[in-house]
Amino acid sequence: MQTHHQLFLDALNIGPEWVLREIDVPSKEIPQTVSMMDWETLEKTVTACQQCNLCQTRTQTVFGAGSRQADWLIIGEAPGEQEDRRGQAFVGQAGQLLDNMLHAIGLSRARNTYIANVLKCRPPGNRDPHPEEIAQCTQYLHRQITLLQPKCIILLGRFAAQTLLQTASSISKLRGQIHQYNEIPVIVTYHPAYLLRRPEEKAKAWADLCMVQGLAQLA
């Protein structure tokens, strides 16, 4: 039996009546948030990252280096020229000094430490990181910390310390005490590149490392 609507269409000589059909539309893939990524996914995401302008000037990203089961996490500022070229964290003279500093307190980047930077790309000319670059990149660092779950974090230099501890205090005020990041003890010391320029400050850096050594003995 025809409906009134169908009779009306027939009277106007319009037909057949169109019928709304369900169309198979592929569901849009929801990107995995950084806070849910595993190591492999996180590293691939960092490698392809284009969230700030540093992607236009980098040679390659520098994700991090060391053992992913490490108890000790070292965090610096950003890759330098050699790190950008080689894709590895803390190489060159600063990297050699860092290795010597770690070795002096029984730590090794290959065995029981993991090394990362706040920024994963080199700022042009090794300039200071811009706030928007730090804002975009710290999500990767926070996820690295969550995945690693270190027993202690060592922050090298002002930018690493101010970023992770969310403070504007100078490094001289942040040194010499144990801070906390999500209940993980944090120690602040000078960046190896700074110590190369100011070797007279190495005694202070050694005092900081002795604090790290004390935590290592308690762990």
CATH superfamily membership of 39-218: Uracil-DNA glycosylase-like domain (3.40.470.10)
In the prediction, which pLDDT does 28 show?
Answer: 30
The pLDDT tens digits for 138-149 are 999 999 999 999
The pLDDT tens digits for 43-54 are 999 999 999 999
The pLDDT tens digits for 167-188 are 999 999 999 999 999 999 999 9
The pLDDT tens digits for 15-27 are 444 343 333 333 3
Confidence of residue 216 (pLDDT cuts 50, 70, 90): low
> E-assigned strands of 85-217?
113-117, 152-156, 179-181, 184-189
In the prediction, which pLDDT does 214 show?
Answer: 81
Strands 152-156 and 184-189: parallel
In the prediction, which pLDDT does 162 show?
Answer: 96
